[in-house]
A and B are shown apart, each in its own frame.
Chain A
Amino acid sequence: QVQLVESGGGVVQPGRSLRLSCAASGFTFSSYGMHWVRQAPGKGLEWVAVIWYDGSNKYYADSVKGRFTISRDNAKNSLYLQMNSLRPEDTALYYCVRDPGGVGYFDFWGQGTRVTVSS
């Protein structure tokens, strides 16, 4: 069955870095676009970044552009999010999300990994 398992979250001070990972299984990872979507505590959903199936295109929300980098390793069936210069407003549950076409069609979500940015 399809599984997306996020890891790498934790508590970090403002200005520091964190790298999230998402391990995919149960489907042909290299055929799917992948996203990160986040949800601040008690708030709604915010799209963060997308990477196409082959890594050829990447897009970011304005709120993270220049600070976050999305990447993937199709040989390892893994998705990553490098988060630099973290801010308190980046505090959220970060979901790894599958997209058959890489066009914003979020057909399967992981359970999320929590990131807290606090001094």
Chain B
Amino acid sequence: DIQMTQSPSSLSASVGDRVTITCQASQDITNYLNWFQQKPGKAPKLLISDASNLETGVPSRFSGSGSGTDFTFTISSLQPEDIATYYCQQYDNLPPYTFGQGTKLEI
């Protein structure tokens, strides 16, 4: 099974800061990587697919990059409504589809 190592596990930042989260796959997953946002008490929401494709309606301050085994998720200017836990998830080939451990973002 492919393991996803996400870091950091938690992060404290200020409004306006640039925030970066990394995710490393245990083997090459090409660009089959999603990023999700989960606000407290809510279901996860897909923000970025295929490592860098911003979903419709998602603010442009969110971005993703990377390929192979190393991936990055960035919020260019942190807003108060971005407080959430963020997860990466790989979907290379057949199941299981594995998630990173999550990054809890606080202000």
**Residues of the A chain whose Cβ atoms lie less than 8 Å from the Cβ of B91:** 103-105
**Residues of the A chain whose Cβ atoms lie less than 8 Å from the Cβ of B46:** 106-108
Q: A104-B32, A104-B89 are in contact. Are A45 and B44 (CB under 8 A)?
A: yes
Q: Tally inter-chain residue pairs, CB-CB below 8 A.
A: 57
**Contact present for A112 and B43 (CB under 8 Å):** yes
B44 to chain A, nearest CB (A): 6
- A residues neighboring B (CB under 8 Å): 35, 44-47, 50, 59-62, 95, 103-112
**Contact present for B43 and A47 (CB under 8 Å):** no
- Known contacts A44-B102, A59-B94, A106-B89; 17 further A-B pairs (Cβ under 8 A): A35-B97, A44-B99, A45-B102, A46-B99, A47-B97, A47-B98, A50-B95, A50-B97, A104-B32, A104-B90, A104-B91, A106-B36, A106-B44, A106-B46, A107-B46, A108-B46, A109-B43
Interface secondary structure of B, over-half rule: loop
Q: Whole-angstrom distance between the alpha carbons of A41 and B96 in the complex? A: 21
Q: Whole-angstrom distance between the alpha carbons of A47 and B104 in the complex? A: 20
